[in-house]
Chain A
Amino acid sequence: MEYHLKTPLSIEDIESLRIGDVVYISGNVFTGRDEAHTRILETPLDNMPVDLEGAAIYHCGPLMQEKQSGIWVPVAAGPTTSARMSAMTPQLLEKHNVRMLIGKGGMDNVADSMKGKCVYLAYTGGCAALAVNSITKVCDVHWLDLGMPEAVWVLEMDEFGPLIVGIDTEGEDLFWNIREKVNENLEKALR
């Protein structure tokens, strides 16, 4: 199935998505990777610079160019390895009603914490020039003290995709299913 969704997302928007489905997303998306996750977990709700209710978080450390003071242009903005954020994701989802994570490569042991709450979507890693075509505006940046890759960038996106549903709200995990097959194939290959 193919879906075209818009942020902010409700639980109804995401609950029918199943692993292997294709999604295109429009609206504001927040980038967030290692250091941003740490800071989100440390920051009291009242002090958060962005509202994560119904949010899509994009595991991405973009390459941006500051054309003039405060005016940023995206140069390259592909996904980063999502698994680095695995350990912090259950706490993130406890604290905020984030409905969609976008990244690459899959995540480890997060499917249970995402059940009934959130989906994980995978974009093609390395496709940073292509991803920029879907960014219509760099709306804002927060926590730039963390450095360009680690800051939280607010990106307005139009039909960003194709994104493959990797983990759905039933807790099904495409990457885990593939890994199980790979395990079988590995023993065959060595016979």
Chain B
Amino acid sequence: MESGIKHEDIVEATISAIQRAETELPDDVVACLENAEQRESNEIARSHLKAILKNTGIARRHSVPICQDTGIIILFVEIGRKISPLPDIEQALIEGVRKATSAVPLRPNAVHPLTRINSADNTGDGLPDIKYYFNDSEELRITAVPKGAGSENMSILKMLNPTEGHSIDRLVLETIRDAGGKPCPPVILGIGVGGSFDKAALLAKSALLEQVNDMDEKEHALLKKVNSLGVGPMGTGGDTTALAVHIRTAHCHTASLPLAINIQCWANRHATAVVGGDGKWNII
């Protein structure tokens, strides 16, 4: 059976996923922020959380970006093995980002690393940053993740000695202390342990896509320690430094212990377009 997924379907689905991600904060994140605002004991902290919730409401109602830093666009793409023939997905995704830049609109953020010349359409060498995965369906899933620089700049990657596993908690707390208000707390922490230099970073980044409250005991315990620091929303003190901690692990070389801590600001933006075998798509 011939696949009905056309180039234009992918372009349009990409634009819609980016539009949704940029303007509507996922419900689980909003609920988590509302809870935090109820529990927060620090007055300045509460005023920050109130402003955040107000801002999120305005962005959703008027369909405008939550933050002026509309990020660089990261796309997690799952390709169904049963899609046949497979259209040129990559060119369609890039076109989607280019068109979303004027349609949403997005701030043009992509620059050459050394000349700093702005490409003006959020594309460039290696941008959008596309990560491909496969599944057994006949669907194409495009998850748009706009990543802002404030939180990304505070993230770290360290190659620990294999015997230093006990120091992971300390490194996480020191990273949060050093980041202070810069990454726009309350943050969400994606932590990648193991794998390789680059694999640890990808584990950490993909951990940010988990349901915010879906944490195990270990993650809850680390979250409690992070929140005991008192950095607070925007670094002006308070009980709410982080909303969640998500840890992902992978086997690694016996001689190494890679650790990546990817910091995500409160605006944990992401949305997924599911393109069916018939080319029709919807946003989940």
Give the one of A75, A83, A122, A182 with max B CB within 10 A: A182
Cα–Cα distance between A164 and B150 once the two chains are bound (Å) = 19
| Contacts A122-B234, A127-B55, A182-B229; A63 near B65 (Cβ below 8 A) | yes
**Number of residues of chain A lying within 8 A (CB) of chain B:** 46
| Contacts A35-B116, A175-B235; A76 near B65 (Cβ below 8 A) | yes
Give the one of A104, A126, A164, A179 with max B CB within 10 A: A126
B107 touches A148 (CB 8 A): yes
Task: Tell me which residues across on chain B come within 8 A of A149, comparing CB atoms.
Answer: 68, 107-109
A126 touches B265 (CB 8 A): yes
Q: Which of A20, A128, A185 lies in contact with B67, CB distance below 8 A?
A: A128
A164 touches B44 (CB 8 A): yes
B177 touches A63 (CB 8 A): no
Cα–Cα distance between A35 and B115 once the two chains are bound (Å) = 12
B150 touches A106 (CB 8 A): no
> B267 contacts the other chain (Cβ, under 8 Å)?
yes
Task: Tell me which residues across on chain B come within 8 A of A54, comparing CB atoms.
Answer: none
Cα–Cα distance between A77 and B64 once the two chains are bound (Å) = 11
Q: Kindly identify, within residues 67 to 106 of chain A, every residue whose CB is under 8 Å from any CB belonging to chain B.
A: 75-78, 80-81, 83, 104-106
A125 touches B150 (CB 8 A): yes
CB distance from B95 to the nearest CB of A (A): 21
| Contacts A63-B70, A106-B181, A128-B55; A181 near B230 (Cβ below 8 A) | yes
B182 touches A189 (CB 8 A): no
User: Contact mask B241-281 → A, CB, 8 Å, 1/0?
Assistant: 00000000000000000000000011100000000000000
Q: Which of A65, A132, A175, A186 lies in contact with B180, CB distance below 8 A?
A: A175
B181 touches A189 (CB 8 A): no
Interface of A is mostly: mixed
A81 touches B68 (CB 8 A): no
Q: Kindly identify, within residues 196 to 236 of chain B, every residue whose CB is under 8 Å from any CB belonging to chain A.
A: 225, 228-236
Cα–Cα distance between A120 and B184 once the two chains are bound (Å) = 17
Binding site for B on A (CB under 8 A): 20, 22, 35, 60-63, 65, 75-78, 80-81, 83, 104-106, 122, 124-130, 132-133, 147-149, 162, 164, 166, 174-175, 178-179, 181-183, 185-186, 188-190
Binding site for A on B (CB under 8 A): 44, 47-48, 51-52, 54-55, 58-59, 62, 64-70, 105-109, 111, 116, 118, 120, 149-150, 153, 169-170, 173-174, 177, 180-184, 225, 228-237, 265-267
15 A–B pairs (Cβ distance < 8 Å), ordered by A: A35-B116, A61-B68, A61-B107, A62-B68, A78-B55, A104-B184, A105-B184, A126-B67, A126-B184, A149-B108, A162-B51, A178-B236, A182-B231, A185-B228, A190-B173
Given contacts A62-B68, A126-B52, A175-B235, 9 further A-B contacts (CB under 8 A): A60-B68, A75-B68, A76-B65, A76-B107, A78-B68, A126-B265, A129-B64, A186-B177, A189-B229
